[in-house]
Structure 1
Amino acid sequence: MIKALVIVPYEGLFEMMKEIAQEVDDIQLQIELGNLYEGVAIAKGAENNGYHVIISRGGTASMIQEAVSIPVIDIQVSGYDVLRILTLVKGFSGKAAIVGFSNITQGAATICKLLDLDIKILTITNDIDVKEKLANLKKLGYEVVIGDVVTVQTAKQLGLTGVLITSGKEAITDALEETRRSYRLFSRLQQDVTLFQSILDSNEQAIGVINKEEKIIYGNERFNKEFHWMKLENSTDVKKLIQETALRREKQTKIVHINHSFWKVTSYPKKDAIVLNFEKNLPNQAILQGQDAILNAIEFHTSASYIPISGKSELIQKVLKQIDQYSKSEEPVWISGEKGNGKELVAHSIYLKRKTRNEPFITLRCDLLSAEQLKDLMNGDFFRTYANGVIYLQNIDKLNSYMQKELYQILKNENDKKLQWLVSSEDNIEEKVKNGTFHSDLYSILAQLKIHIPPLRERRKDIEDLVHVFISELHPKYGNGVVGIRLDALEKIMNYDWPGNVEQLKQVIEQLFLQSHSYYIEKEEVETVFKRLEQQEKNNETLRHIDISGTLEEIEKQVITKVLEEEGLNQSKAAKRLGINRSTLWRKLK
């Protein structure tokens, strides 16, 4: 049996709680009447009297939370409660305002914004603020004040109409359910901690947790066994991964070299920590050494993510028809289009429509695949082993001429087992074939079926659909309150040329989603993001005009000269922009 002390701030709620207490058989409810300080005085003895939780409302609940150590359940002001009161005061001719503690005003603000209601909302942090705020409202011509008990009492003293936001049965039912959850949580917490510890210790992966000071605060059994002898957080590669994860606030995966072994490290950002998962001895993966990281050139999937391709334009409808048509064949499909236009998405769609059993989807990232790796795949009979799968040659136009010839030999020598090939490249592939920079016979074999994805600027009709799809996808990821976009903001987005195509549009919508302060993305917010894009383009244009064939000192001098020109030869501004002082700037230009 849960023992709960209920402290209510007004008589009506007292009576309603008494009725509900008769219907509840798993919670013993002791109900007391007391507002703010009276409620706090009653609550202070609750823990010593064996109560498991305290149930209260509004400002009284807020003050009790600060005074006691046992859980305090707030009877939240629900949407129903606010709608009831707004309906009640709708007929008032005078100006209305909502004044109360945050647990009253937050819910009210949400409802008012969603319904576009012009009602002023003021949040108080203590009861002393109320009189001053209401007096100011009265001077501004407000006649009706909506709020909690303390607000209504003060309003009446000042000659204003005070309307109490009362709690309905729905809010009380929710509070009792929260009481049950809270009780279960605390009673099982220790048991769960022990269970989770044993699960983590039995995991074959090494799992570590790093706090915001970059210190290890937890390691499972495997982690402590592998890394007990070293300060892992001091590893350059691991430290860089931690910093990137903290900066980007999204999952990162890298291959790092620790103690003569390769580890696949996946990092996950949490509220005040970074979780690291370490996997050793990576199967079925070719590894490519980059300048500052080790990247996977081959990816294996037994399934692919299905994301519907959105758009109403004739151009994208033609692409969708081609996907359906070509999915019925096993012939190679060549997918072309500008960067960021969804070529991989088309490849995934064809694979999923062709799939009958557990055929793997294998991506060879041609921009990362080395000649030696391709030779290893050939010698290891890789293409015969996975002949029942779909092989996706991503960015095939990035292969050098030697690798193009080797790949042509593989395709030419196929015997009874016919591989299913999907290929992607940028738009200029036919030009490369004509001028001899891409193997014409290889193109002939792989381009039997072609899909061209037009750039976004040629199918602006699709932008509106894409914007709404991206907003809906971002809700579960961030839990933001954005529910749409204003028409003038959408018009701005539809008129932009989108050189980075769908991928760039998705990134911009994510920025707007995270930066928006209301339920709708506004035109001004879009303009701010576009100004940032224009500045980035200017910076890129500057870099394109810098000759990088010289020495580092010569390149550096070109950059400094260009920045000086852009800053009107103002050395102070140029030095500030470059992150150096004026004397260093002068010395580098000598």
Structure 2
Amino acid sequence: MQNITKILGIAPYEELRKSMENVGSTFSNILLNTYTGDLQEGKNLALEVIHNDYDIVISRGGTAELIRKNISIPVIDVSISVYDILGAIKLANNYTSKFAIVGYSSITETAHLICDILDYSVEIYTIDDSSDTLGLLKSLKDKGIQLVLCDAITNKLALKISLNTILITSGSESIKRTFEQAIELNMHLQKLKLQNNLLTEAIEQSKTDCLILSSQFELIYSSLNTVINDSIYHYLLYKKETASFNESQTFYHSVNNTLYNLKVNSSNKANDIFYIVTVQKSVTPVMNSKFGVTYEAKSEVEQQLNNNLYKNPIITDDIKDKIKQMDSNNSPIILLGERGTGKYIVSQSLFTSQNNNNHTMVTINSNLLNDTMWKHLLNTSNGPFLEVGNTIQFNHFDKISNENFEKLMTIIESTNLHINNRLIFICEKTSEGITSESYKELMNRMNSISFLLPTLRERKNEISAILTMFLNKVNIENNTDIIGYEPSALATLSQYNWPGNFIQLKHVLTELVYLSKSLYITSNNVNSILGTQKMVETISYSEDGMNIPFNSSKTLHEFSLDIIKQVLDQHNGNQTLTAEQLGISRTTLWRYLNK
């Protein structure tokens, strides 16, 4: 069905009204009513008939301006084009060389331009509402001007003193363009009305947050804050490439560690399709991170990476070069390294820097795989194993069970999971270089790229710089202002083995910063803290280990004291044997017990 634009034409003079009628008759998609009335008369005419549901008013000059100030619907001014003014000048040249142009700036500015370009010598006078136009016309007549090119208002005054005129009026092309503008503007207004109705309907039907999208997926309305809105909108743009939105769809998307349920419904209004997306925080348990699966958009991972103060010392130039090389290869990646070597930071950098498979980072805890997780991962409506263009990261892959390993390998091979997505496997190796059987089997079964991350021990030549950079980051994070190390303290820290690598380094420096009573980290404090670290290492790598309950509110000193007390109990209170097992002096042991 053709949309009809209902137009009211108010012409300040009869010639323009007739032209409106003639040009309007060539359009099949307008309904036109025209009247003649100048200035106040034109305004009054418009007010009398405007109740007839007109969409647009078209008029001219001062009359259009008066109407615009008094009615609520759009008023389009019928313009006078360069060709209209040039045509009037050419016509005047056939009559006399003694003519002038008098009119409002909408006419005279263009007239000046034409005369400058064509080198015409024509007197041009600009008037406004305060001008003594009649006095000006009389003086022109006294100067011998035989003809005036003017607008409708000036034309009436000139006729009163018998001064010949050529009325500069809008030609048929200008009027045609005005009708085209009216039709286009009305289509836009009707679309806005429709969108407003949709918005009202969506709000009335739902008390939840929502987005409204056009058929071209332009965002019409959103009740969400900017961060959540941008993340969900870009996620839906991506899903549009692989899912049909003509039917109701349900998706899940994570923003800032909060999972949202997105219900998409299409609405057909006036032969146009709109999409209404209701947004609710999800309560679906299988999606919760405590079940081992998390979802993060690229923007979230980038924000985490940008906010990580410690990433630069970890991601060396060599690592950056390797990350760039991997972008051209979609093979699965195995990030192998000791505890604390920055495997997760490197994984985030891989995800955010690659050109493909960078929409969502799906993280799976391989150690927690169970039947519930498998059902979700393979869910036909929103399971991540059936999606395309993501990065799937398997944490703690060295701890995956044999049964789950075989099941995963079968799924990868049968679904092309490794072709449709980027796969990243994070495996840990011991300080003795021992790797898990799952790592070895993965290398045998898949065409994977193994990425071995260096330990702090292997970066001895950089350790002083790393200690300086980490101290700076710890200062920023803890609002402290330690400016350096005593030389012997720096030497001791540089020679330490750092079995826990960057994580251990951060914890040790944080403890040192809090203990420090001067602007420098002292050798005494370093020896004390590293002595405690050696105790923890002795217990951690012993065959029997120890039962030290974890309490996140405890300080490193409190953990150390727990260990000391348990070792002391094993030796029936003998401090000499306790100090020997822990690798510390009796003085250090005494200091802990009496602090």
Q: Return the TM-score normalized by structure 1.
A: 0.41
Q: Return the TM-score normalized by structure 2.
A: 0.41
